[in-house]
Amino acid sequence: MDFHAKIVEATQEIFETMIMIDVTPGQPLAEHVSKFKCSLSAMVGFAGFKQGNLTLHTPEKVAIGLTQSFLGTEIEEINEDVQDAMGELANMIAGSLKPIISSDGESIDLSLPSVVYGKEYTMTVVAKADWIIVPFT
């Protein structure tokens, strides 16, 4: 299965239909990114037969702009609306990928979205796992 293509397809569909923004995928990154500055990361976990995590990382300004488009309102800074909107975007993308991950009929559940943001933070995966990082513009 070309999981990269499925991530691109799900992300483009959600962004185009929910916030009317076209996003262009880049090539998958060869190295894991774990350090972020002035960013926001929205995460949704997969649990059950297969485990994993979908994380949407954006610069703070991009998160604010996406939320403004999503909600149709003016926003000045990261607030509860931005956290909720970005968590919901991550949840929708994860929800679109869930049937692909559980294509063998095994049960997979999604966690509630979690959001982390700040001037500087590090996110690491503690278990050895496969990963795909797809940048979008």
pLDDT per residue, tens digit, the chain (137 aa), is: 688 899 999 999 999 999 999 999 999 998 888 999 999 999 999 998 888 899 999 999 999 999 999 999 999 999 999 999 999 999 999 999 998 887 776 788 999 999 999 999 999 876 677 888 999 99
Q: What 8-state DSSP symbol labels residue 55?
A: E
Geometric angle at alpha carbon 76, from 72 and 81, rounded to 5°? 55
Distances (CA, A) of 137 to 15, 18, 22, 107: 11, 17, 9, 33
User: What predicted TM-score, i.e. pTM, was given to this entire model?
Assistant: 0.91
- In one letter, which amino acid is 103? S
Residue 129 host element (H or E):
none
Which two three-digit tokens encode residue 70? 């999503």
